[in-house]
Structure 1
Amino acid sequence: MGLALIGLMLLTVLFFVWVVAIKRQIRTLKNVKRADDRERRVQLSKNLRLAKGGLVVSILLLVVTGSLSLIGINGKKEVYLEHVHGLGFSSDGKRILIPAHDGLKAYAQGRWETPEGAKHDYMGFSPVKDGFYSSGHPAPGSELKDPLGIVKSTNEGKSLKMLALQGETDFHNMAVGYNSHVIYVMNPQSNSKMDAAGLYYSKDEGGTWTKTEMKGINEEPTAIAVHPTEESVVAIGTPIGVYLSKDYGNRFEKVLSEGQTTALYFNKQGELFIGGYQNQAYLQKMDIKSKKTEKLTMPALTEDAITYVAQNPSDDGEIAFATFNKDVYLSNDKGLNWKKIADQGKTITEEKTEQ
């Protein structure tokens, strides 16, 4: 689209120059009585009409093409991230998916788009091997009960399977095992399946729930993540660090004390990614067996921090994260270099070079 605009601009300039040149030539023909001057004037007049026609057409094409580029490639509306309620990769690793208050947004090969499906306000967004689990609120005009309770999709939101607690509870702090599909939620209040607020887990798609003792944590949870294969392993972030449980959340051990924890994520290998803030934003990766951490290089964030982070299940080198200010970054080399793909909610599309 960018090269097309440049080409049309050059064409418009050429037609304009042609019109000006013909008019100058006509003005030099002063002797209308001479036959050759009259013939020359007639020919120049024809050329002038042709040049003016070309100029008008090129201007119209320029306006139309420019308008299309403003509203998006191929006439699609520009994608905007009104909110960022999560982040993850599609099951095949080809797309980054972000629930953005008005449905899912997807990024692939330098382009943003809005996938098919209702524009539900997803919360607790949790990608898994065969799709995603989520909570939240139904799209305006939807016949689904509000809140959604817990739902699952295996086709990037084109359709939803209702699992539990529709019309009862909206879970913001929720995580699901990537392979195990065990669901953990921080329940805000009692409902038909949970007697009180607290940390619960389900091994049967939300059919039954078990309340954990959650010993060792006194602070309000800020983030939660579940091991991809080990159902009993769950991590919780708080304003003062990270806690890890290996017994379904009954007892927690503090494994990191570096300021406020703002994001947690287990990759396919079971490594724990931690986003946090201590004087400045940081991103690190922990081996939960040895408790050793590795700080990852990340772009400087001004008065901002990571809210969600994910690694491509098909490509360990590809990592993405979102921030409180709705910036989104992507790395293709395990965090050595980053490119911004959204700036304060405004998505950034890469220009493709036309062949």
Structure 2
Amino acid sequence: MKRKLLVPMFVTTVLLASCGADPTENQTTAPVVEKEKSTTEQTTDHWTATKTGTAVSHIHGAGFWQDGRPVIATHTGLMEFRQDGWYELSSNRHDYMGFELVADGFYASGHPAQDSPYKNPLGVVRGTEKGETLEIRSLEGEADFHYMSAGFESESLYVYLEQATKELAPGFYRSLDGGVSFEPMKMDGIEGRGIAGITADASEPKRVFVYGPDGILVSDDGGDTFEPFLEQKNIVTMASTKGKLASITKDGASFDLVVSDLTDETETTVELPSLNADSVPIELVSQNGRLLLATSDNSVYVFEDEEWTQLLQAGKVK
């Protein structure tokens, strides 16, 4: 199913009730031993060219690999874009959810491939070597985090748990140890505000943003208390990089992209590519002056050298 927004609108009162339940902290103390690990030399290419006409669906995360190549997480695994087109990782073809890049890998959740040894759902997964090596950090077989954000440098995780696990009630949680354990966020200050998504600060472990139709709120204590950061704007998605925030607002039928410098408090407007009614921005990534954008019709764009290039049009590989 295609998403029209990054996440559905949550009912704030319900979320507050869930967060206020004071669930027991997850007691997992050590990551599960890796189940899959590449033993071949790093020079071996485990990516295969995607056939022309292939339909790509369920983009639930995007970013730039350490070598600069764009990558997306799809219903059938990871895909990266090279100069001659799209390529697919031949292993670990999981239905990743909440996929986010960090400095030397990624975090994700979701559902394992049919031939996988992992339990369903995946819980919290830490990936390295471009997804060839996976490590279960916690909650395998218990949690599927559709809404998870990871600090690019800090690796702090901020999540919304939709369904209860053995020890955690539904609600907002943080993990300051890379997904090994979770503790509830108090979420004071969000009363009466709609929340469409959550974004971890790239470098500050306890700074986190929530956004939605009422703007952006920021917390500097790990999500216990929030205060307004940007008000009276309908934010559909946003991204954090060190010292900067990029956000896309919706005004009527149009969208606007603004990059905010948190150091000198300046804003730069970036003109978006032409988007139709079926192209709602759902994923936005900012890294080293480049932007990556995915929309609800499974289109993908990259912004560099002051211009946008479309990498994927309506989910069809050309």
TM-based fold match above 0.5? yes
Displacement, 1:192? 3.3
2:20 is matched with none
Tell me the distance in 2 between the aligned counterparts of 1:254 and 1:76. 44
- Hey, which of these two has a bigger chunk of strand by percent? 2
8 Å contact from structure 2 (residues 159, 174) kept in 1: yes
RMSD: 2.0
Displacement, 1:273? 1.0
AA of the residue aligned to 2:317: T
1:89 is matched with 64
1:225 is matched with 199
8 Å contact from structure 1 (residues 116, 157) kept in 2: no
Displacement, 1:205? 2.5
- Hey, which of these two has a bigger chunk of helix by percent? 1
Unaligned runs of 5+ in 2: 1-47
After TM superposition, list the pairs within 5 Å mapping 1:313-328 onto structure 2: 316-328=288-300
8 Å contact from structure 1 (residues 97, 106) kept in 2: yes
AA of the residue aligned to 2:57: E
Tell me the distance in 2 between the aligned counterparts of 1:76 and 1:171. 28
Displacement, 1:227? 1.4
**TM-score normalised by the chain length of structure 2:** 0.78
1:346 is matched with 316
Whether 1:177 and 2:147 are equivalent positions in the alignment is no
Displacement, 1:87? 0.8
Percent of residue pairs identical = 33
Displacement, 1:292? 4.4
Tell me the distance in 2 between the aligned counterparts of 1:271 and 1:322. 20
Matched position secondary structure for 1:156 = helix
1:52 is matched with none
| Aligned mate of 2:140, from 160, 166, 170 | 166
Map Cα deviations across residues 159-207 of structure 1 (whole Å, 9 max, x no partner): 310111111111011011111111111111332342x222211122222
Whether 1:215 and 2:185 are equivalent positions in the alignment is no
**TM-score normalised by the chain length of structure 1:** 0.70
Tell me the distance in 2 between the aligned counterparts of 1:227 and 1:248. 10
Tell me the distance in 2 between the aligned counterparts of 1:103 and 1:221. 28
1:156 is matched with 130
1:5 is matched with none
AA of the residue aligned to 1:150: V
Displacement, 1:105? 0.9
Displacement, 1:259? 4.0
After TM superposition, list the pairs within 5 Å mapping 1:228-239 onto structure 2: 228-239=202-213
8 Å contact from structure 2 (residues 207, 221) kept in 1: yes
Pairs aligned (count)? 267
Displacement, 1:116? 3.0
After TM superposition, list the pairs within 5 Å mapping 1:179-258 onto structure 2: 179-194=153-168, 196-218=169-191, 219-258=193-232
AA of the residue aligned to 2:312: A
Whether 1:337 and 2:307 are equivalent positions in the alignment is yes
Matched position secondary structure for 1:309 = strand
Tell me the distance in 1 between the aligned counterparts of 2:197 and 2:128. 24
Unaligned runs of 5+ in 1: 1-73, 349-355
Tell me the distance in 1 between the aligned counterparts of 2:208 and 2:76. 29
Tell me the distance in 2 between the aligned counterparts of 1:75 and 1:122. 20
Map Cα deviations across residues 40-75 of structure 1 (whole Å, 9 max, x no partner): xxxxxxxxxxxxxxxxxxxxxxxxxxxxxxxxxx98
AA of the residue aligned to 1:256: L
Q: Whose Rg is larger?
A: 1
